[in-house]
Chain A
């Protein structure tokens, strides 16, 4: 009993930790064994060849550059937008609008931007229409260029909403009185940022930086769609090795991923160690609600900017989904038809099954996420202990490691456990890319509420579960809403993991519609993109309704 009381945090953390260590562990071991050809003639030759070769190093540096730029730009824009609009963004609908780009998988968003900005895209067409440009060749090359502008553009557009999602709770927590104090003492806006906001914002920004950075470094779809022939991003290179016709190249793919993983995990671990102490004071708040000022004019202006950047691609993709023929240089389509929608909704006999399966898996993933994530988040938020940085890093590993690196080991294990080719296995494997976000968001939630309320409640004799239900749960609602949204989106867009673990026996939306993306049929792709985005919104609204029914009124 004493040990339990003293080491409460270990108990809180262990479910999430054991899950992560098991899955990532067996995945990584398998990947490592493959990379040294452990089953034939073990050696480190693959690593030597990779590090000596020009292709790998060029790709690696190129990837790091693109990731660095995408991340920095996203964070700066995200920070500016949140600072200037957060009172508006606090409301449900503005928030949903700002988050909307997140409901589209990355490659879909990339495709939408391609429709807007490519040489024969909408803007080029508009310029031609108003007579500013006579040939589409004169439109600046933004996609498939050697500098990766299109890739960076897509990532920035997609990640800014994520930065907003992560930063919103922090800004809600900031003390207004401290800000006023700085102003009273003659400080400028910059001083407010530096002295009041920075201590709260920076620790969160560091983490956001690494989440986005590692994601961009190892993500495959966007560079595969929008990247140039040379140089290729490291993820595209490893994918070609992994899925290519030459199966002897597989060790190269695994070795490249192991190197990438080692690098990112190492950097993240160092970062966590360095910033560990900066977070401590976050939990010393007592959870008072801050007063909010009314929305000012420029806040609305910035919000308008967010709304435009969300709706512009959306509108275009919607029109494209109904387009039969659209000549270059015309403002609107020449002929419209519903063929794209027809193909998806009428000619897909498995559609109903796919929607239901996707929703079922999604809800299961949400529940397990909450069960594992809530205790772990509390453990990380309220306790200081030895090895905390290590545990934090381990819990984050699933999103630091490229999915194909661990997929093979996980698949082999799941086959043995009888989880492969079954929806339960798919749900479990979807925890990998979602659980780290859940823990992160809930942890921020717990920090915002603070530890003092629990101490008060315990001293008044409250039962732990009762305290959770009546003190923490209601206050965690904003965080839970964010994570419902994020987890749904991520789970739905998983293609590769679902295909491998589900083995075709589990037909989700992604499995059914991904193949259509490999056609030049714009109206089908556009319809698919919209349909794909509607599902997470429906699930989010469903969960919202459930919350409204079961929770007391004042906690909304």
Chain B
């Protein structure tokens, strides 16, 4: 037994002593950022790049495995390995590695945005600034766009490169809903007229939270009021009465009388596909296409956005501070931001998600190609989407909504 305790003690000391910084790694990173692009590309030849990303969508996975990986191999000699893992998990792993001072990790690219980026940036888990080194960013991305400069209120500062843009939309079955609501007030009336046929995911879920944020925007009057000042809890508390009253008012008319909510978007989608509810929602205006194709959603599924506005956000690719192959990571990200890769991503064959590139900066040929892409019947026209587009606010509102929803809505009888 004594031996055991001594061992524990030694291990504890071991853990506690992990607080020194290594300067070698920082130096190396600096020299890499000072190199010119052709040197960086040359350095990444014949290396492996490991990309960590959420792996729950077969279309996205196939885009990486079947379209991107072979081209990277033939064009740049890079072997791309996709690792399916959720962002909170790989960030936990990265945070632990930082803590243990591990200079050489095994992740080269991570797919993040919002609060995950905020946590990663604030805890020094990222390598950079690198995005401004990428030729395709400089050439095709509108770097003045607020959606590229800010990620949920956090300044990007070239610590991540924009990979794609999505917009929030609601999906409904045309066969069951003839006149979908256009505003939150209309939604309220609709919900009361169709008891049990609407619900929204628990705000701990990404989508449920986005639904609440849009109602919150209505509640504060104008999104500008919260956009410019950053996170202000007392302002939020004062201006959220409308939102909480609204949610409590519709509660008895929700699915299962609002006694419980879907834990995540998956559950809501399942309810929609079984016809238990008539509306579903989600980030990515084209999300219904794939689900219709797989017979999960009915063929008559269409989408709409609220006149009060629809959230849009950008998601990004970043490089961990301890990536063993930063040059390869940069080359790969640059490739993923090429017009060719982005236009393929937009087609509904694989992913169907909007480009992060500025269409006006594309070549004539690519612009033509862009115009010819048919995103599917369930997707709203680009002009409509753009008209109601609204930016994301500070990531701390996400947490604020999550916590207060429990007291204000769930625990209220």
A residues neighboring B (CB under 8 Å): 17-18, 21-22, 25-26, 29-30, 33, 55, 119-120, 136-137, 141, 144-146, 224-225, 227-230, 240, 242-247, 324-325, 328, 335, 339, 343, 347, 349, 387, 408-409, 411-413, 415-416, 420-421, 496, 499-500, 503-505, 507, 511-512, 514-522, 524
User: In the assembled complex, which residues on chain B have CB atoms less than 8 Å from the CB atom of A21?
Assistant: 4, 7-8
B residues neighboring A (CB under 8 Å): 1, 3-4, 7-8, 11-12, 14-15, 18, 50, 52, 54-58, 61-62, 65-66, 83-86, 88-90, 92-93, 96-97, 99-100, 102, 105-107, 114-116, 118-119, 123, 196, 202, 204, 256, 259-261, 263-264, 266, 269-270, 273-276, 291, 294-296, 395, 398-399, 402, 406, 410-411
Closest 8 A/B residue pairs (Cβ): A245-B115, A515-B55, A504-B83, A520-B269, A120-B274, A21-B4, A25-B8, A243-B88
Task: List 13 A–B pairs whose Cβ atoms lie within 8 Å, in order of A's numbering.
Answer: A21-B7, A25-B8, A29-B12, A136-B276, A229-B261, A245-B119, A245-B398, A347-B65, A412-B100, A499-B85, A504-B107, A517-B56, A522-B270
* Residue with the greatest number of chain B CB neighbours at <10 A, chosen from A137, A240, A242, A519: A519
A17's nearest neighbour on chain B, judged by CB, is: B4
| Smallest beta-carbon distance A211→chain B, Å | 23
Is A119 touching B276 in the complex (CB atoms < 8 A)? yes
Is B204 touching A409 in the complex (CB atoms < 8 A)? no
Is A415 touching B263 in the complex (CB atoms < 8 A)? no
User: In the assembled complex, which residues on chain A have CB atoms less than 8 Å from the CB atom of B294?
Assistant: 339, 521
B410's nearest neighbour on chain A, judged by CB, is: A230
A30 to B294, CA, bound (A): 46
Is B411 touching A25 in the complex (CB atoms < 8 A)? no
Is B92 touching A500 in the complex (CB atoms < 8 A)? yes
Tell me whether A520 and B15 are in contact in the complex, defined as CB-CB below 8 angstroms, given that A224-B263, A245-B119, A415-B102 are known contacts.
no
A101 to B406, CA, bound (A): 36
Is B398 touching A120 in the complex (CB atoms < 8 A)? no
Is A347 touching B62 in the complex (CB atoms < 8 A)? yes
Q: Of the candidates A17, A25, A411, A522, which one forms a contact with B96 in the assembled complex, judged by CB atoms under 8 Å apart?
A: A411
A520's nearest neighbour on chain B, judged by CB, is: B269
B403's nearest neighbour on chain A, judged by CB, is: A246
User: In the assembled complex, which residues on chain A have CB atoms less than 8 Å from the CB atom of B55?
Assistant: 515-516
User: In the assembled complex, which residues on chain A have CB atoms less than 8 Å from the CB atom of B88?
Assistant: 243-244
Is B7 touching A518 in the complex (CB atoms < 8 A)? no
A316 to B263, CA, bound (A): 24
User: In the assembled complex, which residues on chain A have CB atoms less than 8 Å from the CB atom of B399?
Assistant: 244-246
A423 to B4, CA, bound (A): 26
A521 to B273, CA, bound (A): 10
A17 to B398, CA, bound (A): 45
Q: How many A-B residue pairs have CB under 8 A?
A: 169
User: In the assembled complex, which residues on chain A have CB atoms less than 8 Å from the CB atom of B83?
Assistant: 504, 507, 511
Q: Of the candidates B92, B106, B274, which one forms a contact with A504 in the assembled complex, judged by CB atoms under 8 Å apart?
A: B106
A522 to B296, CA, bound (A): 8
Is B410 touching A229 in the complex (CB atoms < 8 A)? yes
A344's nearest neighbour on chain B, judged by CB, is: B58
User: In the assembled complex, which residues on chain B have CB atoms less than 8 Å from the CB atom of A144?
Assistant: 256, 260
A38's nearest neighbour on chain B, judged by CB, is: B16
A332 to B249, CA, bound (A): 40
B203's nearest neighbour on chain A, judged by CB, is: A229
A226's nearest neighbour on chain B, judged by CB, is: B263
Is A247 touching B119 in the complex (CB atoms < 8 A)? yes
Is B260 touching A503 in the complex (CB atoms < 8 A)? no
| Smallest beta-carbon distance B283→chain A, Å | 14
Tell me whether A137 and B196 are in contact in the complex, defined as CB-CB below 8 angstroms, given that A224-B263, A409-B15, A524-B58 are known contacts.
yes
Is A349 touching B90 in the complex (CB atoms < 8 A)? no
Tell me whether A230 and B406 are in contact in the complex, defined as CB-CB below 8 angstroms, given that A408-B96, A520-B266 are known contacts.
yes
User: In the assembled complex, which residues on chain B have CB atoms less than 8 Å from the CB atom of A225?
Assistant: 263
A74 to B395, CA, bound (A): 44
| Smallest beta-carbon distance B57→chain A, Å | 7
B196's nearest neighbour on chain A, judged by CB, is: A137
| Smallest beta-carbon distance B269→chain A, Å | 4
Q: Of the candidates A18, A137, A519, which one forms a contact with B7 in the assembled complex, judged by CB atoms under 8 Å apart?
A: A18
User: In the assembled complex, which residues on chain B have CB atoms less than 8 Å from the CB atom of A387?
Assistant: 1
Q: Of the candidates B12, B56, B204, B411, which one forms a contact with A519 in the assembled complex, judged by CB atoms under 8 Å apart?
A: B56
User: In the assembled complex, which residues on chain A have CB atoms less than 8 Å from the CB atom of B196?
Assistant: 137
A226 to B268, CA, bound (A): 13
User: In the assembled complex, which residues on chain B have CB atoms less than 8 Å from the CB atom of A247?
Assistant: 119, 123
User: In the assembled complex, which residues on chain A have CB atoms less than 8 Å from the CB atom of B12?
Assistant: 26, 29
User: In the assembled complex, which residues on chain A have CB atoms less than 8 Å from the CB atom of B273?
Assistant: 520
| Smallest beta-carbon distance B394→chain A, Å | 12
* Residue with the greatest number of chain A CB neighbours at <10 A, chosen from B116, B263, B406: B263
| Smallest beta-carbon distance A16→chain B, Å | 12
Q: Of the candidates A29, A420, A500, which one forms a contact with B11 in the assembled complex, judged by CB atoms under 8 Å apart?
A: A29
A60 to B274, CA, bound (A): 34
Is B395 touching A245 in the complex (CB atoms < 8 A)? yes
User: In the assembled complex, which residues on chain B have CB atoms less than 8 Å from the CB atom of A33?
Assistant: 15
User: In the assembled complex, which residues on chain A have CB atoms less than 8 Å from the CB atom of B4?
Assistant: 17-18, 21-22, 25
Q: Of the candidates B89, B260, B275, which one forms a contact with A229 in the assembled complex, judged by CB atoms under 8 Å apart?
A: B260
| Smallest beta-carbon distance B300→chain A, Å | 14
User: In the assembled complex, which residues on chain A have CB atoms less than 8 Å from the CB atom of B57?
Assistant: 519
A17 to B89, CA, bound (A): 30
User: In the assembled complex, which residues on chain B have CB atoms less than 8 Å from the CB atom of A245?
Assistant: 114-116, 118-119, 395, 398-399, 402
Is A26 touching B8 in the complex (CB atoms < 8 A)? yes
| Smallest beta-carbon distance A530→chain B, Å | 17
User: In the assembled complex, which residues on chain B have CB atoms less than 8 Å from the CB atom of A230?
Assistant: 260, 406, 410-411
**16 extra interface residue pairs, beta carbon distance < 8 Å, beyond A347-B66, A516-B55, A520-B269:** A17-B4, A21-B8, A25-B7, A120-B276, A229-B202, A229-B260, A229-B263, A245-B115, A245-B395, A328-B275, A413-B15, A416-B18, A416-B100, A500-B89, A504-B90, A522-B270
B290's nearest neighbour on chain A, judged by CB, is: A521
Tell me whether A415 and B204 are in contact in the complex, defined as CB-CB below 8 angstroms, given that A504-B50, A504-B90, A520-B270 are known contacts.
no
A507 to B107, CA, bound (A): 14
B263's nearest neighbour on chain A, judged by CB, is: A224
A499 to B33, CA, bound (A): 31
| Smallest beta-carbon distance A392→chain B, Å | 13
User: In the assembled complex, which residues on chain A have CB atoms less than 8 Å from the CB atom of B3?
Assistant: 18
User: In the assembled complex, which residues on chain A have CB atoms less than 8 Å from the CB atom of B99?
Assistant: 412
A511 to B52, CA, bound (A): 12
Q: Of the candidates A343, A503, A504, A518, which one forms a contact with B266 in the assembled complex, judged by CB atoms under 8 Å apart?
A: A518
Is B204 touching A240 in the complex (CB atoms < 8 A)? yes
A324 to B294, CA, bound (A): 8
A387 to B1, CA, bound (A): 10
| Smallest beta-carbon distance A111→chain B, Å | 10
A496 to B102, CA, bound (A): 21
User: In the assembled complex, which residues on chain A have CB atoms less than 8 Å from the CB atom of B58?
Assistant: 343, 347, 516, 519, 521, 524
| Smallest beta-carbon distance B326→chain A, Å | 17
Is A515 touching B84 in the complex (CB atoms < 8 A)? yes
A411 to B98, CA, bound (A): 12
User: In the assembled complex, which residues on chain B have CB atoms less than 8 Å from the CB atom of A328?
Assistant: 274-275
User: In the assembled complex, which residues on chain B have CB atoms less than 8 Å from the CB atom of A141?
Assistant: 256
B107's nearest neighbour on chain A, judged by CB, is: A504
Is B84 touching A146 in the complex (CB atoms < 8 A)? no
A17 to B50, CA, bound (A): 37
A543 to B14, CA, bound (A): 40
Tell me whether A515 and B56 are in contact in the complex, defined as CB-CB below 8 angstroms, given that A18-B7, A504-B90 are known contacts.
yes
Tell me whether A519 and B266 are in contact in the complex, defined as CB-CB below 8 angstroms, given that A339-B294, A504-B106 are known contacts.
yes
Is A518 touching B56 in the complex (CB atoms < 8 A)? yes
Q: Of the candidates B56, B118, B295, B395, which one forms a contact with A516 in the assembled complex, judged by CB atoms under 8 Å apart?
A: B56
| Smallest beta-carbon distance B241→chain A, Å | 22
Tell me whether A412 and B263 are in contact in the complex, defined as CB-CB below 8 angstroms, given that A26-B8, A504-B83 are known contacts.
no
B96's nearest neighbour on chain A, judged by CB, is: A411
A328 to B273, CA, bound (A): 11
User: In the assembled complex, which residues on chain A have CB atoms less than 8 Å from the CB atom of B259?
Assistant: 146, 228
A407 to B118, CA, bound (A): 24
A547 to B270, CA, bound (A): 45
Is A227 touching B275 in the complex (CB atoms < 8 A)? no
A224 to B264, CA, bound (A): 10
